[in-house]
Amino acid sequence: MQFDILYQHRDFIIIYKPCGISVHKDRETQGLTTQVANQLGVPQVWLIHRLDKITSGLLILALNVESASEFSRLFAEHQIHKTYLALSHQKPKKKQGLIIGDMKKARNGAWKLCQSKENPAITRFESVSCEPHLRLFFLRPQTGKTHQLRVAMKSLGSPILGDDLYGKNIAEIDRTYLHAARLEFEFYGEKFDVKAMPKEGKWWQKDSVKMKINENPFFGKGKIPV
């Protein structure tokens, strides 16, 4: 498949990863990095961070060892600021704030949020109502734990729409509604701010959802590319 390249720099690219595509090889003949390298006509690209298979959105790939090392440092020092969008049918316990707690393994590959805070997952969030029984969340993780946002949403009483592991299995939901929509960072003194609307999923296409995304200051001023 051909990936949409949303930003191309001499040292890195930012692509749109569709939902349902793993960043790892899985059972595919070629993994994502090999496919992107072939698409660019280069020997190799470097995977800097990860998105779950069910998550769509912005993914940075380095084009050389030096930039891969620099991005690894930026991620380790929490200098890459990410904003995710999520949808839920359930009203949260609170409309905005911080979700903080240690994460422990639970059953069936799931994780759970604990009250302890020894090495906590930290997520800042805000939510707005789009229409009855449909709520939009803006999620800004301060840490990068496995399933962090999915667990955070469940802890609010608002599991992500279509998330079979942490919510209800609803047959008519066509995807898990979690999307990496914005990346903000500084790379060798140059500032970058890249945004992308989700492409897959009928619930993202609702006018009420698009309007709330574009008008919310938590996400950022100005309309984002469709």
| Domain harbouring 165, CATH code | 3.30.2350.10
Give the per-residue pLDDT at 139.
Answer: 97
**Alpha helix stretches (DSSP H) within 24-162:** 32-40, 65-76, 148-155
Residue 104 lies in a domain: yes
Question: Which distant-in-sequence residues (6+ apart) come within 8 Å of 88 by Cβ?
Answer: 134, 135, 137, 153, 158, 159, 160, 161, 177
Flag whether 8 is in a domain.
yes
226, part of any domain: no
Structural domain span for residue 206: 4-215
Q: How many structural domains are present in the chain?
A: 1
Quote the pLDDT of residue 30: 80
Examine residue 156 and state whether it is found in any structural domain, yes or no: yes
CB atoms < 10 A from the CB of 172, how many?
Answer: 6
Residue 27 has a pLDDT of 64
Would you please indicate which residues are annotated as catalytic (active-site) residues?
Answer: 52
What pLDDT is attached to residue 26? 65
Classify residue 172: in a domain, yes or no: yes
- Residue 9 counted as domain residue: yes
Q: Which residues of the chain have pLDDT under 50?
A: 222-226
% helix, strand, coil for the chain, step of 5: 15, 35, 50
Q: What is the pLDDT of residue 216?
A: 79
Whats the size of the chain, residue-wise? 226
- The pLDDT assigned to 108 comes to 87
Q: Does 224 reside within a domain?
A: no
Q: Which pLDDT does position 170 carry in this prediction?
A: 73
Q: Is residue 223 part of a domain?
A: no
